[in-house]
C-alpha cells in the first residue's frame, strides 16, 4: 500500500491541533503525520511532543523559526522520503474516509493532484473575513489545501512559494498544472474548515491575495518567454 504522510503546520494552536491530529489517526487508511512547529511562543511545543509520544511512532515533530504556512509545509515535506503527501491546517478536521478516497483517485492517474471540498464551520461571534464570505456567496467549496500528490510531483515544482502567506495553495496548484499535472476535484467533503477567530484567512491581506497570484503568474510567463 502507498505510504501517505500528512503535513500539519502549527503556530500557537495547541487545543485545535489535538483535534486535527485525532481526525487523522481515526482515518481508515493508516498515515504518518509530520507536525511542524512554526516558531510557537505558547505551550504548543509541549503539546506536540505529547501527541508524538502517544502515537506509536506515527508522528514526527519538527521545529523551525516562524516563516508562515508555506515555509512550514515545505519543512514538513523535507522529512518525507517518498510516497504520497497531503496537508491539513491545525484548526481543521479530516472527514472520515478522506485519505482512502483521495488515494484511490490518485492511483488511477499518478499525474493527478487530488483535492476535495470543504464544509465550513464558523465559531459563534466570529467574522470569517471578506475572503471567506465571498466564497460562501459564490458557492465555492473546492479546498486547495487538501491536495494529495506524490512527493516527486511536489518537489518537481519547488513546493510552496515561501514568500506568500496567502493563496500559496492556489499558487502551488497553478504551477503543478503548468508542469503537466491534472487537478482532480472530488465531490466529497474532505475537510471541516473551522474559522475560530485567529485564522490567517481573516487577515484583510487575504482578500488581496488574488493580485499576488496574478503577479506570480505574470512573472513566470515573462521568465518562459
Model pLDDT for residues 115-163, shown as the tens digit of each residue = 999 999 887 777 766 767 777 778 789 999 999 999 999 999 999 999 9
pLDDT for residue 168: 92
| Fold observed for domain 4-224 | Spore Coat Polysaccharide Biosynthesis Protein SpsA; Chain A (3.90.550)
Q: Which three cell numbers stand for residue 201?
A: 484567512
Please list the ranges in the chain whose pLDDT falls under 50. 199, 201-204, 206-211, 213-214, 225
pLDDT for residue 128: 64
87, 193 Cβ separation under 8 angstroms:
no
* Long-range CB contacts for residues 153-156, cutoff 8 Å, separation at least 24: 153/111, 153/113, 153/181, 154/77, 154/85, 155/77
pLDDT for residue 1: 60
Give every strand in the sheet of 4-10, ordered side by side: 59-64, 32-38, 4-10, 84-87, 142-150, 112-122, 182-195, 93-94
Residue carrying C-alpha cell 515561501? 162
Task: Name the E strands within 69-111.
Answer: 84-87, 93-94
Q: Which three cell numbers stand for residue 180?
A: 503537466
Query: pTM for the full model?
Result: 0.86
Q: Which three cell numbers stand for residue 185?
A: 476535484
pLDDT for residue 218: 53
What are the domain boundaries of the chain?
4-224
Amino acid at each position: 500500500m502507498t505510504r501517505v504522510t500528512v503535513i500539519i503546520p502549527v503556530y500557537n494552536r495547541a487545543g485545535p491541533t489535538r483535534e486535527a491530529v485525532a481526525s487523522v489517526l481515526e482515518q481508515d487508511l493508516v498515515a504518518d503525520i509530520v507536525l511542524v512547529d512554526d516558531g510557537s511562543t505558547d505551550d504548543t511545543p509541549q503539546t506536540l511532543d505529547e501527541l508524538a509520544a502517544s502515537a506509536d511512532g506515527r508522528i514526527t515533530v519538527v521545529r523551525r523559526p516562524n516563516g508562515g504556512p508555506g515555509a512550514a509545509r515545505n519543512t514538513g515535506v523535507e522529512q518525507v522520503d517518498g510516497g504520497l503527501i497531503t496537508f491539513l491546517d491545525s484548526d481543521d478536521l479530516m472527514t472520515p474516509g478522506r485519505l482512502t478516497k483521495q488515494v484511490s483517485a490518485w492511483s488511477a492517474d499518478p499525474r493527478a493532484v487530488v483535492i476535495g471540498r470543504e464544509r465550513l464551520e464558523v465559531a459563534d461571534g466570529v467574522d470569517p473575513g471578506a475572503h471567506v464570505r465571498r466564497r460562501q456567496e459564490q458557492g465555492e467549496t473546492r479546498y486547495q489545501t487538501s491536495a494529495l500528490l506524490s512527493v516527486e510531483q511536489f518537489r518537481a515544482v519547488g513546493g510552496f512559494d515561501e514568500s506568500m502567506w496567502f493563496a500559496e495553495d492556489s499558487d502551488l496548484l497553478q504551477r503543478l498544472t503548468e508542469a503537466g499535472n491534472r487537478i482532480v476535484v472530488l465531490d466529497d467533503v474532505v475537510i471541516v474548515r473551522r474559522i475560530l477567530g485567529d485564522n490567517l484567512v481573516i487577515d484583510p491581506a487575504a482578500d488581496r491575495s488574488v493580485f499576488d497570484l496574478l503577479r506570480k503568474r505574470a512573472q513566470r510567463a515573462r521568465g518562459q518567454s
